Amino acid sequence: MEPLILVDQVTKAYRSGTVEIQALRNISLSIDRGRMASITGRSGSGKSTLLNVLTGIDRPSRGIVRIAGTSPVSLTENELAVWRGRTIGIVFQFFQLLPTLTVAENVILPMDFCNTWPAAERKDRALALLERVGIAEQAQKFPSSLSGGQQQRAAIARALANDPPILVADEPTGNLDSRTARSIFSLFQQLAAGGKTIVVVTHETEFDAVFDQRIELEDGTVLRSTEPQENTSCALVS
């Protein structure tokens, strides 16, 4: 069976004047359902470009990307936005919650956009998701009154709004202290144990052991990729 995330001989080149920069050079990798994978590498190694081609934000210059059987490049801009909403939840370093909406409203927003749940069910679903990430009591507050860790939990609930099979997180703990970071990685592990596939770009080597697949980039190539094996991840799950 095809892996959930398939990247096959992908090159992404940017042209700057007469110079061509290859951000990704013929890279191949796959990530199976239920995995928690990290993407690491120095600044400029191609991590953001890889995330962008996975999420369909950017098109590869060459090669194949297939996510849950769909090739994002085959979709129109409108189809792509809906596909992304239903297939990939994205979590950012600085949370990117809308400050004028309550936490619950932030979680409802992607459901309104993708129309995956009847309007009458969205609020209850948002509250259930906030409960699942451990901040039910913050639902009616505005993001600015939450701690960084709580804001990231709200952002994770928002990323889960349309029940996508994949969560992609770009330096999700880069702005959090180490204890809070640990609790966020533990939450990711619980989600992976529940069947979500989690892909995390991270600089933090302290949490290497929580990942069951580690992909290290260097100059747009895969320097190392640990083979996924059963029971290799360290259990933070409580």
Q: Which residues bind ligand ADP (CB under 6 A)?
A: 14, 16, 21, 23, 41, 43-49
Smallest distance from ligand ADP to CB 49, Å? 3
Residue among 138 and 173 whose Cβ is closer to ligand ADP: 173
Residue among 25 and 33 whose Cβ is closer to ligand ADP: 25
Helix axes 103-114, 119-132, angle to 10 degrees: 130
Smallest distance from ligand ADP to CB 51, Å? 8
Smallest distance from ligand ADP to CB 171, Å? 9
Under 8 Å between Cβ of 45 and 219 = yes
Residue among 44 and 165 whose Cβ is closer to ligand ADP: 44
Residue among 49 and 173 whose Cβ is closer to ligand ADP: 49
The token duo for 162 is 């349309």
Distance CA 208, CA 187 (A): 15
Under 8 Å between Cβ of 126 and 157 = yes
Q: Measure Cα distances from 152 to 28, 164, 185, 222 in Å.
A: 31, 18, 11, 29
Smallest distance from ligand ADP to CB 72, Å? 17
